Structure 1
Amino acid sequence: MTTLADRFLPDPDFSETHQITVRVPPEVVWAAHRAGGVTLGRPARALIAARSLIARARNGRAQSDLPTGPGAFVALAEEAPREVVEGLVGQWWRFGASANRAEVDGPERFLDFAEPGYGKAVFCLRFLPSGDGTRIVTETRVTCTDAAARRAMGRYWLLIRPFSGLIRIMMLRDLAARARRLATTGGAETR
């Protein structure tokens, strides 16, 4: 199956996929995502805070390269209610020593970016019909612009991958719960 993410990073150096199935139609799951986006629960925020502590210890300053801060993920593509893809360019292995490339602010600039020493990441959510519900799939892909960046990202990936995966699983569970609430309230989701 070809995905929208394939347009941006068809052959990633690093990737990770997680999924969950919820007994709610894709359109309702899409609506829940649109209403609340991707939310991070307390455990996920704690993991991000731990990464920020490492950044402060290594670089003496606050984290500046997380997807929730300046230079956050930018919209790359969307096909409602099936898939949404966002992208980000940075040097995350430097633990905040450099900011994300905020000028990469859309699909064309993302595709064209090739400056050595960086990683290009996409985060996608897919909402696939599955029996009487929806299989929600999250996929993270990273491609590096040169061999040195690939080596640095490889070391970083070994360190953060389990925690990144845990955050993705928590995000999926939260989205599934919000979709179930939305389905039972007939569209008036309450938080």
Structure 2
Amino acid sequence: MLIDDILPDFHFQETHSILIDAPAARVMAEALAYKPEDDAFFRGAIALREAPIRGWARLRGRTHDRPAFTLDNFTPLARNSQEAVFGMVGRFWQAGYGQDPLADLQAFETYDQAGSVKLVLHYHIGGEGKACLTTRTRIYCLDETARVNFARYWMVIRPVSGLIRRRVLKTIKRRTLGT
């Protein structure tokens, strides 16, 4: 799998799957077209996550004009007919997400900022007859400081992240089947 080539070693991982009675190509097209920001729960979770940033800006008499977090925060890293891998790097536990710019796969592979993590989001379609769509998130911590900081953050966000992933899969299934 592409994810194993891009991030074979990891410290944290979350995986969710769903069976969809449709051709794999159609399922992948729907997965790639999906925008989580269309989901009210996702928007609410992000608004809650960003509330301290916006509140702090207001207290300082400023506006927080940064766009809300979306799938556009991820950089496409690799893709084939059965898989798509997106990545991001930084210190995501920081109030402003601590995301560092990432141009492409090469930048992802060579990224080595101390105290940071590498994260990949992976869509994979397998199975025969019915397509099995799997979403997998992997996080690799570049050092012990990053591992400690991310572990604390992961404990808080993982339940919400899992719920969002399951909602994503159900929505992709519904859209694929036209129901």
Using structure 1 for the length normalisation, give the TM-score: 0.82
Shift of residue 25, structure 1, vs aligned partner: 1.5
SS in 1 for 2:103: coil
Match of 1:189 in 2: none
**8 A contact 2:36–2:71 mirrored in 1:** no
* Unaligned segments of structure 1, at least 5 residues: 185-191
Residue type of the alignment partner of 2:116: Y
Distance 1:5 1:179, change over 3 A: same
Give the CA deviation at 1:79: 1.1
Equivalent position SS for 2:119: strand
Tell me which residue corresponds to 1:187.
none
Q: Which residue of 1 aligns with 2:84?
A: 84
Q: Which residue of 1 aligns with 2:74?
A: 73
Structure 2 unpaired stretches of 5+: none
Matching residue of 2:36: 39
Query: What is the number of residues matched between the two proteins?
Result: 174
CA distance in 2, matches of 1:63, 1:120: 26
Q: RMSD value over aligned CA atoms?
A: 2.3
Are 1:179 and 2:173 matched, yes or no?
no
Contact 1:25 1:129 in 2 (8 A): no
Cα distance 1:5–1:59, how it changes in 2: closer, same or farther (>3 A)?
farther
CA separation of 1:47 and 1:101: change in aligned 2, threshold 3 A: same
CA deviation after TM superposition for structure 1 residue 55, in Å: 3.3
Matched letter for residue 164 of structure 2:
I
1:87-98 alignment runs, 5 A limit: 87-96=87-96, 98=98
**Structure 2 counterpart SS, 1:94:** coil
Of all paired residues, the percent bearing the same amino acid is 31
